[in-house]
Structure 1
Amino acid sequence: MKPADTALALLVALIWGLGFVFTRYALTEMSPTVLNLLRFAITALPCLLLPRPQLAWTVWVGISLLLVWQYLTQSWGISQGVPAGLTAVIVQSQALFTIAFAAVLLGERPTRAQLTGIGVAACGLLMICFTVGYDFTLVAFAVTMTAPIAFAFSNLLLRQARDVPMLDLFAWISFASLPPLALAAWVTDGGPAIWHELTHLSPGVMAAMLSLSVGSTTIGYWIWGRLLHAYSAAQVVPFALLVPFIGAGASSLVFGETFGPLRLTGMLIVVAGLAIMLLFGRARPPLPEVG
């Protein structure tokens, strides 16, 4: 990769890693539903200038609902005490689920390296499970674990939009996500509470929201899509391994989050498993259909 593009890939990893810190900070003044409603309302603004990508409505609805579920569950987990740094590691385990679901649903045969990585990452997640109950509940952990599952399913749907510009795609997906997010906010918070939260944001939280929407989503995915168009996935995707390290390190510095030996070891093992999958695993072609 060119030095400038390497710098851009590092910038995206930094933006996405810090996004978990900004989320926790914004949750001090906003509920998870209102936070995500405002985030995607801002992200959807480019729809006023960008053309709507040509995708089947089932793909639009599927990706939008999965996106809503992913961000609501991960932000709800953080609001319930799941450390932002740990959440960053959990969300990045989507690579494990993506490979597994592609094998089951699409017939893609995982390589030995991918199977090894899945096994290593699963062991790390199991070690993290043994630390549940000390600073957050089993329910909070279980709900947070559904975020990478939704992420994985959306990855499979996104394959049908490979030729669509990322900026256009995520702007319109964000727009399609607004109705279910507005409904969720109305049901859980109510109109008066939503209005109160939106009209009493501190400057710091407003800056965090702009970083999440404009930085993490709009700019981050635009750069990432540009890099994936210019280089192979094997050259670009490994930079995503930096996200959990940045998220965990930044949350430790900003919020004083600490991880016990068992949890820290589990987090490192998860990232090691992801590294094996991303750096050494290349998917085999699907099995031929019989008959």
Structure 2
Amino acid sequence: MPPIDVAQALAIVVAWGVNFVVIKWGVAGVPPLLLGALRFALVALPAVFIVKRPPLPWRYLALYGLTVGVGQFGCLFSAIKLGMPAGLASVVLQSQAFFTLLLARFFLNERWQRSQLAGLALALGGLALIGIGKGGNMTALGFGLTIAAATSWAASNVVVRAIGRDGYKVAPLGLVIWSSLIPPIPFLLLSWWLEGGERILLALRDFNLQSLFAVAYLAVVASMFGYGLWSRLLTRHAAAKVAPFSLLVPVVGLLASHLLLGESLTPGQLAGSGLLLAGLAVSVFGGRALSMAARVGRA
């Protein structure tokens, strides 16, 4: 990859890693489900008048919007509000890669590679260490909701794969923007039901610069800038060259959370995070390593 494209990939990594700190700031002043509604409303409008709608049936846009929007971010925002450290959330959320394997095997009958199974075993061990770890202000509810967010992200990945299997070719940015029309209404209904009209009105009345920054960052920087630039890189380079950069997101998330929020991990959480990230690396790079070893053995 040319240096300019590497720089852009690293800029995306920083934007997505810092995203978890911004979520923490956002839910401090805005209830998490209301924050979700505001985020996706700002992503969709006015962008839907600029970006062409993907050539997809509305059922796919709805499924993607509900899984990646209401499911992933509703659970993630609520998890961080209810005691999940932002840095640790950036690590645990990466378990989506392994939940994707499980869901794709069940719904799409995709086969697993040996490297993916090895990575899954490491990741499950890491999640177990994090889940049973004490300290670091992590709550069981926050951890459980982060796992639910990762599962919802995995479900959205399966939706995207199903779209491809049905023969649709969709630009990622168009999918992100048009599917963002779906989450605001469910988010608002859930917010009214679970967070209450009084909290909604109070949050809107006391909406401050920190809340405005959080909503703008989540919508413009993390979503539109991040996904837009990511999709551009994917059109210029093979996915195998671009995707590994995502492994750096939790590293940035941990570092940013430590520097900006003063968070730190317990020894058990640190070991679990290391195992989970090692599993992710094995899953991403293991297949190529095995192929190279086989070629060397035949030479």
TM-score (norm 2): 0.90
Q: Would the aligned equivalents of 1:98 and 1:152 in 2 still touch at CA under 8 Å?
A: yes
Q: Would the aligned equivalents of 1:132 and 1:141 in 2 still touch at CA under 8 Å?
A: no
Q: CA deviation at 1:137?
A: 3.0
Measure, in 2, the Cα distance between the counterparts of 1:209 and 1:255. 18
Measure, in 2, the Cα distance between the counterparts of 1:140 and 1:147. 10
Q: Which runs of 5+ in 2 are unaligned?
A: 289-299
> Which residue pairs with 1:118 in the alignment?
120
SS of match in other structure, 1:249: helix
Deviations 1:179-212 (A, max 9, x none): 1111112212333432331242221331222111
Paired positions, count: 282
- Counterpart residue identity of residue 138, structure 2: F
Deviations 1:54-89 (A, max 9, x none): 212221221111121110111111111110001001
Give the 3 Å change call, closer, same or farther, for CA 281–58 of structure 1 in structure 2.
Answer: farther
Q: Would the aligned equivalents of 1:127 and 1:262 in 2 still touch at CA under 8 Å?
A: yes
> Which residue pairs with 1:204 in the alignment?
210
The correspondence of residues 1-291 of structure 1 with structure 2, limited to 5 A, is: 1-45=1-45, 46-67=47-68, 68-132=70-134, 135-159=137-161, 160=163, 163-281=169-287
Q: Would the aligned equivalents of 2:136 and 2:266 in 1 still touch at CA under 8 Å?
A: no
Measure, in 1, the Cα distance between the counterparts of 2:140 and 2:11. 34
Measure, in 1, the Cα distance between the counterparts of 2:56 and 2:287. 30
Measure, in 1, the Cα distance between the counterparts of 2:189 and 2:43. 18
Measure, in 2, the Cα distance between the counterparts of 1:17 and 1:134. 19
Structure 1 stretch displaced more, 102-111 or 64-73: 102-111
Q: CA deviation at 1:92?
A: 1.2
Q: Which runs of 5+ in 1 are unaligned?
A: 283-291
TM-score (norm 1): 0.92
Measure, in 1, the Cα distance between the counterparts of 2:214 and 2:123. 31
Q: Would the aligned equivalents of 1:47 and 1:172 in 2 still touch at CA under 8 Å?
A: yes
Q: CA deviation at 1:247?
A: 0.5
- Counterpart residue identity of residue 22, structure 1: V
Q: CA deviation at 1:52?
A: 1.8
Q: Would the aligned equivalents of 1:80 and 1:140 in 2 still touch at CA under 8 Å?
A: yes
Q: Alignment identity in percent?
A: 37
